[in-house]
């Protein structure tokens, strides 16, 4: 049964691959699982039909037979558990790869989300510039710790895993800010992720959706 | 082999059960797994010896034989995978329970963390009061959606699971703010979590550590 994922009809990042469906597309490409895509508008995302799939009215969702999943981390994990290539066989290494998934989503991403929220929602505030510096410093704390741990390694714990897939996806959100450039080993780590054929296929697929949405015929 | 977790030598919440070791203690109590505790001071948490266990210099960590894990969500998941009681047997129900773990940590907790960070780090700012209201409204958005999904159910997806354990732990951080009181079904949900014998044992254990840290003999 081919799984179906939902994605933005018109991604707010204009096809830069920062929407959360990219993580799921990338995971599906890594394991060689074909998938279908259903486009959802901003309006439809908040309607009951979509909220029945995703209680928080977001994308992506994942449908496979009678299974409905939401939350990109959970979907990537589901894919990783059912196919070879994203989690090591060794039990301890597998547990550590999963720990990196959670660390990316619960320790590294929150200040990065805060930066994005600040930029979108607080730009008109008198405090905007001062607060931006505060949030950027919180991100630097995390990046410094992550950079120290990664050191000269290619990936966070031996071979590429779902932990790296999520971590790279989270760090990519910082590209425009320039913060990543302050940590050369993290920049190289993200570049290694982007260079993977599966990443490139997933990126092209999400970009094609955005480009089509801009067509005057649509 | 008895697992060893690290916890604050003197918890900043003064034993209110809001530190992240509580999630791990609760999971261990739910499955009936004995554990040992190693206390870590704020200073020691940031030293290389502890950072070798936890790259971000936090608690809890989990050690069992040669396995070292960090990140409370990952530790709870590790425990849930290896013992009965925290994840359903049915494959789809299991995937949904895991989705709720990720949703709690990556969708519900970030604005709650932001509220705590704001209260601790931005209290001296001229913008403090205005920003507090903004962050509280972001939390209300999430709570409203979660409340709608929970409805009159006892737990998020059938039987109590690791998803509920993490979600209740995340929501407990809001207790002092009064925000939870605006959603009676969420308040009742959290109270159901707190009423579980395993929760009570875990709470008592973490409180005992804090009380001992206040002893004049210590």
Q: Are residues B117 and B165 in the same domain?
A: yes
Q: Into how many domains does chain A fold?
A: 2
Report the chain A residue with the minimal C-alpha distance to residue B63.
A92
Q: Degrees (nearest 5) of the Cα angle A14, A18, A20?
A: 115
What is the pLDDT, as a whole number, of residue B120? 87
Compute the Cα dihedral for B146, B149, B151, B155 and give only its sign.
negative
What is the pLDDT, as a whole number, of residue B26? 98
What is the pLDDT, as a whole number, of residue B183? 98
Q: What percent of chain B has pLDDT over 90?
A: 93
Q: Are residues B65 and B96 in the same domain?
A: no
Q: Are residues A147 and A204 in the same domain?
A: no
- Number of C-beta neighbours around residue A208 at 10 A: 12
Report the chain B residue with the minimal C-alpha distance to residue A52.
B149
Which residues, in sequence order, are CB contacts of A11 under 8 Å at separation 6+? A19, A206, A209, A210, A213
Q: Nearest CB to A127: which of B66, B74, B125?
A: B125
Report the chain A residue with the minimal C-alpha distance to residue B70.
A99
CB contact under 8 A, A95 and B78: yes
Report the chain A residue with the minimal C-alpha distance to residue B150.
A55
Q: What is the CATH number of the domain that holds B52?
A: 3.40.30.10
Q: Which two tokens stand for residue A168?
A: 């790279």
Dump the DSSP string for B76-90. Answer: HHHHHHHSTTSS-SS
Q: Read off the pLDDT of residues B84-140 as tens digits, 9 standing for 90 and up.
A: 999 999 999 999 999 999 999 999 999 999 999 999 888 999 989 999 999 999 999
Chain B CB contacts of A55 below 8 Å: 103, 145-146, 148-149
Rounded Cα distance between A19 and A206, Å, is 9
Q: Which two tokens stand for residue B210?
A: 């804090």
Report helix, strand or coil for B159.
coil
Q: Degrees (nearest 5) of the Cα angle B211, B51, A179?
A: 115
Residue A207 lies in a domain: yes
From A218's Cα to the closest Cα of chain B, the distance in A is 32
**Higher-confidence residue: B217 or B208?**
B208
* Contact between B62 and B78 (Cβ < 8 Å): yes
Report the chain B residue with the minimal C-alpha distance to residue A140.
B56
Residue A147 lies in a domain: yes
CB contact under 8 A, B105 and A101: no
Q: Nearest CB to B102: which of A105, A138, A148?
A: A105
Q: Nearest CB to B73: which of A68, A102, A148?
A: A102
What is the pLDDT, as a whole number, of residue B1? 87
* Contact between A34 and A4 (Cβ < 8 Å): no
Q: Nearest CB to A109: which of B106, B125, B149?
A: B106
What is the pLDDT, as a whole number, of residue B64? 97
Dump the DSSP string for A173-202. Answer: TTGGGTGGGG-HHHHHHHHHHHTSHHHHHH
The residue with tokens 């020691």 is B44
Rounded Cα distance between A147 and A58, Å, is 31
Q: Are residues B65 and B24 in the same domain?
A: yes
Per-residue exposure over B7-17, b if at least 16 CB sit within 10 Å of its own CB, e if not: bbbebeeebbb
Q: Are residues B62 and B105 in the same domain?
A: no
CB contact under 8 A, B99 and A71: yes
Burial (CB count <10 Å: 0-12, 13-18, 19+), residue B98 = buried
Residue A14 lies in a domain: yes
> Which value does ipTM take for this structure?
0.96
Examine the pLDDT at B218 and tell me if it is beyond 60. Answer: no
Q: Are residues A32 and A98 in the same domain?
A: no
Q: Read off the pLDDT of residues B1-27 as tens digits, 9 standing for 90 and up.
A: 899 999 999 999 999 999 999 999 999
* Contact between A17 and A203 (Cβ < 8 Å): yes
The arrangement of strands across the sheet holding B4-8 comes to B36-40, B4-8, B61-64, B67-70
Chain A CB contacts of B139 below 8 Å: none
Which of B24, B54, B61, B73 to mutate against chain A (most A CBs within 10 Å)? B73
CB contact under 8 A, A106 and B106: yes
Examine the pLDDT at B217 and tell me if it is beyond 70. Answer: no
Torsion angle defined by CA atoms of residues A139, A144, A150 and A153, in that order, rounded to the nearest 10 degrees: 110
Q: What is the residue range of B163's domain?
A: 91-196
Q: Are residues B192 and B205 in the same domain?
A: no
Rounded Cα distance between B102 and A189, Å, is 24
Per-residue exposure over B145-159, b if at least 16 CB sit within 10 Å of its own CB, e if not: bbbebbeeeebbbee
Q: Are residues A176 and A95 in the same domain?
A: yes
Residue B218 lies in a domain: no
Report helix, strand or coil for A133.
helix
Chain A CB contacts of B92 below 8 Å: 66-67
What is the pLDDT, as a whole number, of residue A217? 65
Q: Nearest CB to A110: which of B68, B113, B142?
A: B113
Which of A50, A74, A138 to mutate against chain B (most B CBs within 10 Å)? A74
Q: pLDDT by residue for chain A (218 residues), tens digit each?
A: 899 999 999 999 999 999 999 999 999 999 999 999 999 999 999 999 999 999 999 999 999 999 999 999 999 999 999 999 999 999 999 999 999 999 999 999 999 999 999 998 889 998 899 999 999 999 999 999 999 999 999 999 999 999 999 999 999 999 999 999 999 999 999 999 999 999 999 999 999 999 999 987 65
| Residue B17 DSSP symbol | S
Residue B52 lies in a domain: yes
Counting every residue written for chain A, the total comes to 218
Chain A CB contacts of B122 below 8 Å: 131, 134
Helix residue ranges per DSSP H, B104-196:
109-121, 128-150, 162-172, 184-194
CB contact under 8 A, A145 and B71: no
Chain A CB contacts of B134 below 8 Å: 121-122
User: What's the start-to-end Cα distance of chain B, in Å?
Assistant: 29
Residue A31 lies in a domain: yes
Residue A192 lies in a domain: yes
| Cis-peptide, bond into residue A60, ω within 30° of zero | yes
Q: Are residues A107 and A189 in the same domain?
A: yes
CB contact under 8 A, A148 and B109: no
What is the pLDDT, as a whole number, of residue B215? 82
CB contact under 8 A, A96 and B69: yes
Q: Are residues A125 and A188 in the same domain?
A: yes
Q: What is the CATH number of the domain that holds B182?
A: 1.20.1050.10
Rounded Cα distance between B39 and A59, Å, is 41
Q: Are residues A109 and A27 in the same domain?
A: no
What is the pLDDT, as a whole number, of residue B65? 96
Count contacts between A and B (CB, < 8 Å): 122
Rounded Cα distance between A23 and B58, Å, is 27
Q: Nearest CB to A67: which of B78, B95, B109?
A: B95
Q: Are residues B159 and B76 in the same domain?
A: no
Residue A218 lies in a domain: no
Q: Nearest CB to B74: which of A75, A102, A113?
A: A102
């Amino acid at each position: 049964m081919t799984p179906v994922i939902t994605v933005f009809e018109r991604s707010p990042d204009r096809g830069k691959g920062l929407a959360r469906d990219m993580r799921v597309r990338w995971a599906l490409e890594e394991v060689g699982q074909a998938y279908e895509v259903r486009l959802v508008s901003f309006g439809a995302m908040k309607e009951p039909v979509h909220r029945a799939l995703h209680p928080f009215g977001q994308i992506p969702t994942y449908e496979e037979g009678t299974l409905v999943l939401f939350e990109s981390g959970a979907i990537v994990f589901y894919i990783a558990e059912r196919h070879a290539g994203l989690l090591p066989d060794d039990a301890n290494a597998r547990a550590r790869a999963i720990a990196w998934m959670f660390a990316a989503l619960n320790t590294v991403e929150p200040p990065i989300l805060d930066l994005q929220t600040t930029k979108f929602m607080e730009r008109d505030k008198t405090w905007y510039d001062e607060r931006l510096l505060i949030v950027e410093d919180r991100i630097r704390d995390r990046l410094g710790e992550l950079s120290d741990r990664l050191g000269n390694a290619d990936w966070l714990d031996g071979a590429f895993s779902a932990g790296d897939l999520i971590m790279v996806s989270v760090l990519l959100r910082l590209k425009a800010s320039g913060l990543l450039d302050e940590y050369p080993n993290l920049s190289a780590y993200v570049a290694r992720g982007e260079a993977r054929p599966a990443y490139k296929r997933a990126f092209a697929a999400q970009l094609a959706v955005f480009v089509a949405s801009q067509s005057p015929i649509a």
